[in-house]
Structure formats: C-alpha cells, structure tokens
C-alpha cells in the first residue's frame, strides 16, 4: 500500500523530491503527475503532485524529507565542496525567501490571465528576506549590475 508523504505544486520540484528519496533507497512514486502536467492550473483541485512511498518505508521517507527541509543535505554539500555557507548575516539562519517587485501580485495576476496569448515573464525578483529575522538583501544579479 502506498502512502503520501509529501505534496508539491511544482512538478519539477516533485521530481526532485522523488529523486532524493530514491537516492536514499526509498521506492518513491509520483501520483497525479500526468494530470497536473496536462492542466497545471488545476493542480490544487487534483491535490497537487503527491509523492508516495510504500507504507513500510513511510517513516524513513519522512525522516529524509525532514532532513531535506532543515538543510542537512545543503550543509553536507557545502562542506564537501568547500562552499561558503549561505547564512543570514544577522541571525545565521538559512531561511531565505524571495522578494518580488512592488505590484508583483497584480503583475502575477495579469500574467496568469494573459499567459495563453502573450506569455509575459513573471515579475522579477528584487531580493530575498530571511524568514527568521526579516533581514533583507538585494538580488545578487542586481548587485553585479550596479
């Protein structure tokens, strides 16, 4: 019997999560991926892409997903490749969230309405904000351009 251990709106992220679980020896599959690939705008109605595992591996899968969400794999990769850690300079958290330009919600709504005809780009990112303390930084691309 398969049990849903994780859900994703984005099909690519769902494949990445499935790949992570498979790399850890867990037999993971995606449910409703084809329906969402055909009609992504209805993904919430379909219940998102569900990552499912055999019931006997559910606890192991949840532990792997918890490590992934806490950044354990990111830390190991940074250590293995000797990369600098991407921490908030104020509180040392890893909880970065994207910040969009003002009016981004309206632009995103317009993009959604017009995507079938014009396909404009989504609103640009202007920076990122730490989810733990609220510290904000500009996009690195905009730093290089300035």
How far from the centroid of its chain's Cα atoms is residue 120's Cα?
Answer: 22
| Chain position carrying tokens 């919430």 | 44
| Same-domain pairing of 108 and 139 | yes
pLDDT of residue 10: 82
Instruction: For 23-81, write each residue's pLDDT tens digit.
Output: 999 999 999 888 877 877 777 777 788 999 999 999 999 999 999 988 888 888 888 88
- The model carries a pTM of 0.61
- Is 102 a member of any domain? yes
| Same-domain pairing of 66 and 121 | no
pLDDT of residue 101: 63
Domain assignment of residue 48, given as a range: 2-81
Tokens of 14: 């769902």
Distance from C-alpha of 115 to C-alpha of 104, rounded to nearest angstrom: 15
Counting the structural domains of the chain, the total is 2
Give the Cβ contact number of residue 54 at 10 Å.
15
- Is 89 a member of any domain? no
Tokens of 140: 């690195």
| Same-domain pairing of 115 and 62 | no
Q: Where does the pLDDT of residue 145 fall: very low under 50, low under 70, confident under 90, or very high at 90 and above?
A: very low
Instruction: For 45-55, write each residue's pLDDT tens digit.
Output: 777 889 999 99
- Is 135 a member of any domain? yes
């Amino acid at each position: 019997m398969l049990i849903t251990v994780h859900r994703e709106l984005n099909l690519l992220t769902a494949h990445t999560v499935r790949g992570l679980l498979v790399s850890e020896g867990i037999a993971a599959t995606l449910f409703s991926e084809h329906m969402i690939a055909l009609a992504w705008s209805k993904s919430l109605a379909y219940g998102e892409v569900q990552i499912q595992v055999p019931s006997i591996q559910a606890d192991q899968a949840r532990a792997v997903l918890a490590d992934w969400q806490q950044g354990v794999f990111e830390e190991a990769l940074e250590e293995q490749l000797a990369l600098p850690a991407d921490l908030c300079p104020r509180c040392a958290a890893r909880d970065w969230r994207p910040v969009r330009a003002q009016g981004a919600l309206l632009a995103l709504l317009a993009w959604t309405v017009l995507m079938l005809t014009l396909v404009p780009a989504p609103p640009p990112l202007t920076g990122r904000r730490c989810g733990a303390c609220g510290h904000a930084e500009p996009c690195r691309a905009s730093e290089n351009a300035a």
